[in-house]
Amino acid sequence: MSAWIRSLPGGTWTRVLIAWLALAVAMSINGVFRELVLRPGLGPRVAPLLSAILGIALVLLVTRGFLPPLTGLDTGTLLWISATIFLLTVAFETALGLLVDQKAWRALLEHYALWRGELWPVVLAILSLTPFIWGRWWPVE
């Protein structure tokens, strides 16, 4: 795998990691905003919806700024970038939930229950698609 990483165009993995760090900060702020402002003001049903919409907007804005240019990368490379972003995000959310919020595993897994109206999987899916969004569908040079 290290040969594969070295074969990427210069700076791609640096941009991916910087984009992910910027997203971790932006999405953490979004979570705090949801809990301190949206939930008390709008209630437990509307706040998560607005937070998810805001989260998707943040994901698209941050990745558009940091990920491009991804044009010219093959599908396998875009899949690796997507998987990296996905795994870093799930690991970060899990660590934050366990260590900072002191949540049980069951409570963490409930955030992935799309069939119960949880929107985090939608945000995570869009995040995972961003390498393809900016590398294939709407390439930015």
Q: What is the mean pLDDT of residues 25-39?
A: 94
Q: What is the pLDDT of residues 64-102, one digit of tens each?
A: 888 767 777 889 989 999 999 999 999 999 999 999 889
Q: Domain for residue 2, yes or no?
A: no
Q: Domain for residue 108, yes or no?
A: yes
Residue 110 domain boundaries: 7-137
Q: Domain for residue 1, yes or no?
A: no
Q: Domain for residue 89, yes or no?
A: yes
Give the model's pLDDT for residue 29: 95
Q: What is the pLDDT of residues 114-135, one digit of tens each?
A: 998 889 999 999 999 999 998 8
Higher pLDDT, 137 or 83: 83
Q: Domain for residue 80, yes or no?
A: yes
User: 3-class secondary structure for the chain?
Assistant: CHHHHHCCCCCHHHHHHHHHHHHHHHHHHHHHHHHHHHHHHHCCCHHHHHHHHHHHHHHHHHHHHHCCCCCCCCHHHHHHHHHHHHHHHHHHHHHHHHHHCCCCHHHHHHCCCHHHCCCHHHHHHHHHHHHHHHHHHCCCC
Q: What is the mean pLDDT of residues 41-67?
A: 92
And the tokens for 136? 């294939």
Give the model's pLDDT for residue 140: 61
Q: State how far the Cα of 128 lies from the Cα of 92, in Å rounded to an integer.
A: 15
Domain count, the chain: 1
The residue among 62, 65, 59, 66 whose CA lies nearest residue 14 is: 66
Q: Domain for residue 91, yes or no?
A: yes
